[in-house]
Every structure is written in structure tokens, then in C-alpha cells.
Amino acid sequence: MKALYAHGARDLRLADEDCAGPGPGEVRVRVARGGICGSDLHYYSHGGFGTVTLREPMILGHEIAGEVAELGAGVSGLAVGDLVAVSPSRPCGACRYCLKGLPNQCETMRFYGSAMPFPHIQGAFRQEIVALASQCVPAAGLDPARAAMAEPLSVALHAMRRAGDLLGRRVLVTGCGPIGVLAILAARAAGAGEITAVDIADRALGFAEEAGASRRLNTAADPQALAEDSRGKGSFDVLFECSGAAPALAAGIGALAPRGVIVQLGMSGEMALPILPVIAKELELRGSFRFHEEFAVAVAMMRDGRIDPGFLLTHTLPLERHAEAFETASDKSRAMKVQLDFA
């Protein structure tokens, strides 16, 4: 089988790999689709992000779905031929954070395609992968493309949990890439009363509108687009900051009402924080990192039709055209979500 390795910045290579049979409690999955994530693009473009850098070749990818090809001993609830979404989240279950009910903060997390630890955790962009049966969520009724979107949708659902009750709340989403648009879909499902989307590109804002944003504001065309919402002490209850850009965070803080909640999802390095309005308006800043139990919820919500992220998929390319796929995904003027086809 073939696997896609990153050796460094703009150095992707397909390599032949053996895929062992599944052990007890494991399944072998024939991968069908894999979505290219922002972290994959950081490894591709820069060899890492922040202090996280590639120190050895690493298989990329963590947004995958495929067909069960073989069952290990003791596996129940799955059958050969089942379409499954495969969660990349593999906490140890035994460290102090897992035992506190915080598996996404696991001290020895084995998250597919991560260069945080060394040796690196190899990713899922390979034609076959052996996974724990507990990672594999049946996705009958979905196509592989949508099933592979369970991972980024899980990120958005975890952010909703971090925000708390959204019923009837005025929500602001800054940054309308895939995670920002999925946050809009998730906030609608959580009962948000009004959702305002902010970005610097009309194309991204078009996706936000299709996701159900009540208003769309282009702050490149109108730097004062949030001025009315920022009058007095602000007017929004919750900010989902999905761009990782300091100006977006500052503008969002200015538009939040007292005791508003900031949920920071965007990751692009260190950001300056305007602390005085945080103090004066008694704002709460909450990080949101990965997910765990939300993965099965994401699949269920897609299967039930409560959330359909299919419109985000703009490009699908075969694995052999991986360089073109990554270049396309890097061009935000053309692409929203790009997937590799492993068939």
C-alpha cells in the first residue's frame, strides 16, 4: 500500500508500506477519503508550526473515512464492508487528565499525524490503516466524503461545549475557513439566536451564509464593519475566534458585551491580547483544543441530517496528485475543503 509522508517543507513523498493484520480489538480499514486540514498545510508549507517541527518523516492526515476490510479478535458491532469514520483521537485512558474526564488533554495522546511528540505519531494518509475498533464509528447512510468530515465537525462541536449554553445568544464568528463555517453550522444546531460571520474574503463569507449566518461582514472592504456592534459596551454574547489573527481577536473583544465568552480555536502562533476590555467587561477567554467524545456525536448528527457539511467540499483529487491537492488547499481563493481520494 501507499502512504503519504512529509519529509520537510514542500517535500511530500509517497512510499510503499506494509499493513499488518488487526490484533484483538482492532480493525483494518481500507481508506476511501482523507481531508487536508490546516495542520497538514502547516507541515507542508513550513515543516511545522510554532515550536512543533518535523524531526523525522511523518505520514500526514487525520480526517479519514473508509471501509472495514478485516476484523480482529473480539470486535463486535462492526462488519467487513461497513463504512466507518475513523477518529484520530487515541488517549491513553489512564493518565491524570483522562481519569478527570479530559481525554483531549491526555498526557500521552496518540493523535494521528502529530509532530508534537518524538518519535512522531504517524498519520492516516495511507491506503490501509489498522485502528482500534473504538475509533471506528459506523457511518451508514453517509458517503465517504461526508464521513471524512466528522473530524473537523468534532472540533466545532467541542468548541460549542466550551462556550456553554447558546440558546438564543448573539454569536460572532471571526474567520470563515472550514472550522469557522462548521462552527456556524454547530452554533445553529445549538440554538444560537443570531450568528454574524466576519472574514476578509467574500468567497469565504458566501460559505458562511450558506451555513446559516444571519449577517456577513467583510472587514477588508469595511474595516469599521463591527463599529455599530461595538458601541457602548458591545452586543455579542459569544465569540468563536477561528482565524488565529490578532486583529480579529481584538475586534471581536471590542464587540462582546459584558461577561461575554471568547472561544479561541484559531491557531497561528502567539497573539497579543487587549487585556483592558477583558478585565473591564469581565470577559471569559476559553481555549478549545481537539475533541474526543464529540466524534461519535458528529457522525450521528450528519447521519440524522441535523448537520450537512457536504457543501464545504470544493475539490477531490487522487492520492497520486497529492502535490496538486496540497497546493489547491493552500489557495483560499479557490478552495474551502480539499480531500484526497484513496480508492
Contact call for residues 143 and 213 (beta carbons, < 8 A): no
Distances, alpha carbon 225 to alpha carbons 231, 243, 251, 255, 308, in Å: 12, 17, 10, 11, 29
266 has pLDDT over 80: yes
Q: Which pLDDT tens digit goes with each residue over 53-112?
A: 999 999 999 999 999 999 999 999 999 999 999 999 999 999 999 999 999 999 999 999
Averaged pLDDT for residues 261-270 = 90
DSSP secondary structure, 288-308, as one string? ----STHHHHHHHHHHTTS--
Q: Mean per-residue pLDDT for 227-248?
A: 97
- The answer for residues whose C-beta is within 8 angstroms of residue 280's C-beta and 6 or more apart is none
Beta bridge partners of 131: 27
- 140-173 burial, b at 16+ Cβ within 10 Å, e below that, comes to eebebbbbbbbbbbbbbbbbbebbeebeebbbbb
pLDDT, tens digit, 9 for 90 and up, residues 279-296: 999 999 999 999 999 999
Could you count the other beta carbons within 10 Å of the beta carbon of residue 307? 22
Give the DSSP letter of residue 227. T
Question: CB burial class (10 A; 0-12, 13-18, 19+) of residue 77?
Answer: exposed
Q: What's the CA gap between 11 and 270, in Å, rounded?
A: 26
Give the pLDDT band of residue 267 (cuts 50, 70, 90). Answer: confident
Q: Which helix (H) or strand (E) holds 238?
A: strand 236-241
Cell readout for 236 is 455579542
Residue 269 has pLDDT above 80, yes or no: no
Condensed to tens digits (0 to 9), the pLDDT of residues 295-331 reads 999 999 999 999 999 999 999 999 999 999 999 999 9
**31-50: average pLDDT:** 94
The answer to whether residues 323 and 15 touch, using CB atoms and an 8 Å cutoff, is no
The SS3 call for residue 152 is helix
Q: What's the distance, Cα to Cα, between the start and end of the chain in Å?
A: 11
d(CA 104, CA 109): 8
Judged against a pLDDT cut of 80, whether residue 20 lies above it is answered with yes
HSE, side-chain direction, 13 A CA sphere, residue 164:
12
Written as nine digits, the cell of 60 is: 500526514
pTM of the model: 0.96
The CA–CA distances, whole Å, from 174 to 118, 183, 200, 312 equal 34, 10, 9, 17
Q: What is the DSSP string of 305-319?
A: TS---GGGEEEEEEG
What pLDDT does residue 268 have? 77
Residues contacting 304, CB < 8 A, separation 6+ = none
Tens of pLDDT, residues 146-200: 999 999 999 999 999 999 999 999 999 999 999 999 999 999 999 999 999 999 9
Average pLDDT, the chain: 97
Q: Are 124 and 342 in contact (CB under 8 A)?
A: no
Nearest-angstrom CA–CA distance, 113 and 5: 10
Domains in the chain (CATH in brackets) are 2-149+309-341 (3.90.180.10), 156-287 (3.40.50.720)
Distance of CA 185 to the CA centre of its chain: 13
The cell numbers describing 257, all together, are 458585551
The DSSP 8-state label assigned to residue 332 in this structure reads T
Which tens digits make up the pLDDT trace of 97-148?
Answer: 999 999 999 999 999 999 999 999 999 999 999 999 999 999 999 999 999 9
All cell numbers assigned to 94: 489512564
